């Protein structure tokens, strides 16, 4: 009996020795992989920031943007809701760039094109002469809350068509047949440029991008950006600039208030 035990122990030790060898090797490989992972994490968290974000993260957001732009379609719309879904006064969030000057009758939106000296000023009345557009949809804030709201005004697309904006040639834009004539970006800002947003042209010309003079069927209040504000269904709320004083069409990517503070520039929904 003791002999048998001994034989069995010797036999099993071959397997155990092999297991020990495997374990040593696997733990070494695993340990090296874990160290490499830790090193990569240190590298990532200490990478030089670009606009408040480590550059590899900023670069990845850029890749995500290119993918989203490639798959973007102006025919895909945000869901709309029946009017009854709008509840109570609209939530306010963010007052940067607002002023007490909300005189709609005297208000002018200045329009500029990169590389062109001619500047235009468009009155609120001229904007309001465009076909009306009403939208009851869900505003999405980057913070994570949403609210069903009514936005009333005119389509940004109709504005650029009526006033022949956004093109290098100065002719009326034709996004379907002559997209190359369009500038790549739009920059919009409050009159003193304290708050500003940058938009890709496709998002600006989306049919649910509006210049609004009413919200929840009431004239815009000062807090909501009177006399004229933007609303985009394809962006987080922080891109929906209030109190529009300046619109500039350009090929260089414009700065953006929240993108300068660590957020994604594209912020597309």
**In this chain, which stretch among 15-23, 105-113, 115-123, 249-257 interacts with another protein, using CB under 8 A?**
15-23
* Residue 4 binds another protein (CB under 8 A): yes
**In this chain, which stretch among 66-74, 151-159, 213-221, 242-250 interacts with another protein, using CB under 8 A?**
66-74
Residue of the chain from 6, 60, 116, 119 that contacts another protein (CB under 8 A): 60
Rg (CA), the chain: 28
CB of 75 to another protein, least distance (A): 10
User: How remote is the C-alpha of 140 from its chain's centroid?
Assistant: 11
* Residue 12 binds another protein (CB under 8 A): yes
**In this chain, which stretch among 93-101, 186-194, 247-255, 260-268 interacts with another protein, using CB under 8 A?**
260-268
Pairwise CA distance, residues 7 & 48, whole Å: 63
- For residue 261 the two structure tokens come to 């503070």
Q: What is the DSSP string of the chain?
A: -HHHHHHHHHHHHHHHHHHHHHHHHHHHHHHHHHHHHHHHHHHHHHSPEETTEEHHHHHHHHHHHHHHHHH--TT----B--GGG--SSPP----TT--S---TTT-EEEEEETT----EEEEHHHHHTSPPEEEEEEEE-TTS-EEEEEEEEEEHHHHHHHTT-SBSSSSPP-TTT-GGGB-SEEEEE-TTSSSEEEEEHHHHTSTTEEEEEEETTEEPPTTTTTT-EEEETTB-GGGS-SS--EEEEESSPPP-TTGGGTS-SS-B-
How many residues bind another protein (CB under 8 A)? The answer is: 52
Of residues 74-133, those binding another protein (CB under 8 A): 76-79
**In this chain, which stretch among 64-72, 98-106, 123-131, 186-194 interacts with another protein, using CB under 8 A?**
64-72
Of residues 123-152, those binding another protein (CB under 8 A): 138, 140-146
CB of 86 to another protein, least distance (A): 15
Residue (26 or 99) nearer to another protein, CB? 26
* Residue 73 binds another protein (CB under 8 A): yes
Residue (60 or 101) nearer to another protein, CB? 60
Of residues 221-240, those binding another protein (CB under 8 A): 233-234
CB of 151 to another protein, least distance (A): 14
Pairwise CA distance, residues 234 & 224, whole Å: 19
Binding residues for another protein, rule: CB under 8 A, are 4, 8, 11-12, 15-16, 18-19, 22-23, 25-27, 30, 33, 37, 41, 52-54, 56-58, 60-61, 64, 68, 71-73, 76-79, 138, 140-146, 208, 233-234, 258, 261-264, 268-269
């Amino acid at each position: 009996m003791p002999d048998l035990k001994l034989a069995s122990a010797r036999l099993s030790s071959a397997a155990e020795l092999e297991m020990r060898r495997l374990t040593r090797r696997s733990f070494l490989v695993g340990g090296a992989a874990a160290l490499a992972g830790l090193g990569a994490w240190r590298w990532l968290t200490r990478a030089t920031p670009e606009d408040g974000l480590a550059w590899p993260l900023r670069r990845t957001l850029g890749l995500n943007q290119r993918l989203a732009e490639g798959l973007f379609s102006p025919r895909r719309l945000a869901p709309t809701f029946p009017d009854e879904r709008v509840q109570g006064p609209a939530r306010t969030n963010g007052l940067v760039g607002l002023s007490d000057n909300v005189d709609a009758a005297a208000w002018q939106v200045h329009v500029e094109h990169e590389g062109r000296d001619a500047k235009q000023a468009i009155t609120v009345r001229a904007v309001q002469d465009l076909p009306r557009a009403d939208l009851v949809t869900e505003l999405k804030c980057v913070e994570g809350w949403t609210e069903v709201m009514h936005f009333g005004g005119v389509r940004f697309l109709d504005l650029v068509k009526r006033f022949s904006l956004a093109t290098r040639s100065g002719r009326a834009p034709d996004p379907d047949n002559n997209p190359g004539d369009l500038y790549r970006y739009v920059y919009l800002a409050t009159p003193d440029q304290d708050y500003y947003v940058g938009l890709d042209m496709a998002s600006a010309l989306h049919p649910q991008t509006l210049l609004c003079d009413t919200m929840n069927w009431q004239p815009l209040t000062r807090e909501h950006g009177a006399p004229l504000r933007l609303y985009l269904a394809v962006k987080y709320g922080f891109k929906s600039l209030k109190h529009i004083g300046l619109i500039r069409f350009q090929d260089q990517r414009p700065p953006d208030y929240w993108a300068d503070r660590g957020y994604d520039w594209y912020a597309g929904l």
